[in-house]
Amino acid sequence: MPARRFQPDFLIDRLLYRDGLMLVIDKPAGLVVHAKPGSDRDSRGESLEDYFDALRYGLPRPPALAHRLDRDTTGCLILGRHPKALRKLHKLFFEGKIDKTYWAVCRGAPEKLSGTIDTPLTKGKQRRGWRMELADEGDETALAARTTYRVLGQKDGLSFIEAKPKTGRTHQIRVHLASIGAPIIGDPLYGNLSDFERDGPLMLHARRVIVPISKNKEPVVVEAEPPAAMAELLATVNPN
C-alpha cells in the first residue's frame, strides 16, 4: 500500500467546527476529496476520505462528504457526521440554502467590478482528460451555472475577487472568472495565463460557509484563513 502523505490524524488540527450533526474542516491543497468509484488506494492514490476515520469523535462510523472541492482548492469543506445529518445537508445544498464564499487571486480584472455570471457549462474534451466549457446555445448537455462576484482589490495587474457560486458545477468559479477576463493564478486549465502564472498553487480558497443546519438556532458561520502563499499574495493585492 502506498505511503500516506500525512499523519492519520492530521485533520484534527484542521478542524474548524464541530457539533452533533456536522464538521467543517480546512481542506489542504493537492488532495482529492474522494476516490473514484470501484477503485482501491493502491491503484488510485490517496484521498481526503482516507483520513476521515480520525474524525469519528465517538460515533460508530466516520463522517462523509456533504459536498466537494477541487483537488487544489483550499478551505471550508463540510462533512455530515451520520446518515441523517448527511441527508439534511444534501437537501440544504440542493435547495441553495448554504451560502458559500470563495476568495481568488486573478490575472487582470473584469470590466464590471461586480456582477453575476449566468452562463451554462458543459463537459468538454482535451488532449489529456477533460475540462468544463461554456456551453453553446441550444446545447442539450448544458448545466445551468450562476456565480456572483465582486472585486475587492487590484494592483500590478492582479485582482482579489470574492465569488459566490449559486450552483455547484465542477470547476464553476474557475471557468466563470476566466470567461470574464480574470483567470485564477495557478489554474492549470482555464484562461489566458503564462506558464509562470500556471506554475504554482491554485489561488482559490473556500473562505466561508453559512449553514442553517438547525431550525431553532442561528445559522452556523465558519471561516478558513487562506494558506500562507495566498495570504502573502493577497497582502500585495489588497494591503488594507
Q: Is 50 a catalytic residue?
A: no
Nearest to 164 by CA among 117, 124, 200, 122: 117
Catalytic entry in 26, 70, 72, 187: 70
CA 48, CA 74: separation in Å to the nearest integer? 12
What would the pLDDT profile of 163-212 be if each residue is shown by its tens digit?
999 999 999 999 999 999 999 999 999 999 999 999 999 999 999 999 99
Domains of the chain, start order = 10-237 (3.30.2350.10)
What would the pLDDT profile of 96-141 be if each residue is shown by its tens digit?
999 999 999 999 999 999 999 999 999 876 656 678 989 888 788 8
pLDDT > 90 in the chain, percent: 80
Q: Is 80 helix (H, G, I), strand (E, B) or coil?
A: strand
Residue 23, Cβ density class (10 Å: 0-12 exposed, 13-18 middle, ≥19 buried): buried
What would the pLDDT profile of 22-43 be if each residue is shown by its tens digit?
999 999 999 999 876 554 555 4
Beta-carbon-side half-sphere exposure of residue 217 (alpha carbons within 13 Å): 9
pTM assigned to the model: 0.93
Amino acid at 54: A
Amino acid 64: pLDDT: 97
Amino acid 44: pLDDT: 57
Tell me the average pLDDT of the chain: 91
What cell numbers appear for 93 in the block?
445544498
